[in-house]
Amino acid sequence: MKRPVRWLKPLPLRPRDTVHVVAPAGPFDRPTFEAGLALIAERYTPTHRPDLFAAHRYLAGDDSRRAEELAHALTDTSARATFCARGGYGSARLLPHLPLADAAPSLFTGFSDLTSVHGALQALGRVSIHGPVLTQLGKQPPEVREYFFRLLESPEAPPPLTGSATYVPGSAEGHLVGGNLSVLACLLGTPYLPPLDGAVLLLEDVTERPYRLDRMWTQLRLAGVFSRVRGIVLGDFTSCEERDAAYSSADVLLDLAREEGLPCAAGFPIGHGTLNYPVALGTQVRLDADSARLTFLEGAVRP
Give the number of C-alpha atoms closer than 13 A to the C-alpha of residue 2, restricted to the C-beta side: 6
Predicted TM-score (pTM) of the model is 0.96
Domains of the chain listed by start with CATH number: 18-153 (3.40.50.10740), 161-296 (3.50.30.60)
Catalytic residue among 106, 208, 272, 298: 272
Catalytic-residue membership of 130: no
Report yes or no: 58 and 90 within 8 Å, Cβ to Cβ.
Answer: yes
Answer yes or no: 112 catalytic: yes
Q: How far apart are CA 206 and CA 276, in angstroms?
A: 13
CB 119 within 8 Å of CB 140: no
pLDDT in tens, 237-287: 999 999 999 999 999 999 999 999 999 999 999 999 999 999 999 999 999
Per-residue pLDDT at 3:
46
| 204 counts as catalytic | yes
The active-site residue, picked from 91, 128, 153, 204, is 204
- pLDDT above 80 (res 5): no
Round to whole Å and give the CA distance between 302 and 105.
10
Q: Give the active site residue among 91, 112, 128, 182.
A: 112
Could you give the CA distance from residue 24 to residue 284 in angstroms, rounded to a whole number? Answer: 28
